[in-house]
Amino acid sequence: MQYRDHTDPLFVNFKCLKFQEIVKLKMLLIVFQAKNNMLPVNIQKLFMKSDDAHNHNTRFSKSGNFDVKYCKTKMKSMTISIKGVKLWNELDNHLHNVKSIHLFKKKLKCIYIIICSKLPVT
């Protein structure tokens, strides 16, 4: 490995996540805790399940997703109550149904490592 070589192969080889994936992982762990009512009440209020937001059944509400709140500013769109919910809603449904936080974290880390390993090195 030379000084100017790309670092992706190193991260994949050592099964480490890059900073952006670590941030996404931490956000998704908090949303996972919100889904399973493991957060303090004042933080839990930031997240609303989509089946609680509507009076009728929808495909979206049955999938275990959260309702994405409207935001006007770029700053607000980067908060965990918006960005974290969007990341959660993009996950596969099999990850929504995981019961253990440790298993959820392990599966999510594996997914991010696999995604990183498939990216072309430029």
Q: Is residue 2 part of a domain?
A: no
The 10 Å Cβ neighbour count of residue 57 is 9
Task: Please tell me the predicted confidence (pLDDT) of residue 70.
Answer: 87
Structural domain contains residue 3: no
* Range with lowest mean pLDDT among 27-31, 46-50, 89-93, 105-109: 46-50
In a domain, 1, yes or no: no
Residue 111 lies in a domain: yes
Domain range holding 59? Answer: 8-117
Radius of gyration, CA atoms only, the chain: 17
| Domains: count for the chain | 1
52 domain-assigned:
yes
Does a structural domain hold residue 92? yes
Entry pTM: 0.84
pLDDT in tens, 67-106: 888 889 999 999 999 999 999 999 988 898 899 999 999 9
Q: Could you tell me the pLDDT band of residue 33, with boundaries at 50, 70 and 90?
A: very high
Is residue 122 in some structural domain?
Answer: no
Taking residues 6-29, what's their average pLDDT? 91
Residue with tokens 């991010």: 112
Does residue 16 lie within any of the structural domains?
A: yes
